[in-house]
Structure 1
Amino acid sequence: MPTAARLVAACCLALLAFTVSYQIMARMPESTNFGIFVPLNIGLGVVCGWVVMGRNRKSSFPGAMNNGIAGVAVLVFWGLVVQGGYEMFRQAMNHRYHGPLDALYGIIELSAEYAQVLLAPGIIVTLVVGAILSGFVTGYASKTWR
Structure 2
Amino acid sequence: MPTMGRLVGAILFGALAWYTTTLIVPLFPEGTNLGYFQELNTFFGLVAGWTVAGPRAGTGYVASISYGLTALVSMVVMALFFNSFVVMIERSLRKRYDGAGEAVTDVFALFMEHGMMILTPEIITTLLVGGVVGGLVTEAFGRRFT
TM-score (norm 2): 0.96
1:65 matched to 2:65? The reply is: yes
1:142 matched to 2:118? The reply is: no
Aligned residues: 146
Amino acid at match of 2:107: I
What is the CA–CA distance in structure 2 between the aligned matches of 1:136 and 1:112, rounded to whole Å?
Answer: 30
Amino acid at match of 1:112: M
Identify unmatched segments of 5+ residues in structure 1: none
Shift of 1:97: 1.4
Shift of 1:60: 2.4
Shift of 1:62: 1.8
RMSD: 1.0
Amino acid at match of 2:101: L
Counterpart position of 1:127: 127
Shift of 1:85: 0.2
Amino acid at match of 1:35: G
Counterpart position of 2:54: 54
Cα-to-partner distance string for 1:32-85 (whole Å, 9 max, x where unaligned): 111010000011111111111112224523201001000000001111100000
Amino acid at match of 2:108: I
Cα-to-partner distance string for 1:71-127 (whole Å, 9 max, x where unaligned): 000001111100000100010100111222211101001111100112100000000
What is the CA–CA distance in structure 2 between the aligned matches of 1:56 and 1:19, rounded to whole Å?
Answer: 24
Amino acid at match of 2:5: A
1:76 matched to 2:76? The reply is: yes
Given that 1:10 and 1:45 are in contact with CA atoms closer than 8 Å, whether structure 2 keeps it comes out as: yes
Given that 1:58 and 1:67 are in contact with CA atoms closer than 8 Å, whether structure 2 keeps it comes out as: no
Q: Please list, as runs of the form range in 1=range in 2, the aligned pairs for 1:1-146 lying within 5 A after superposition.
A: 1-146=1-146
TM-score (norm 1): 0.96
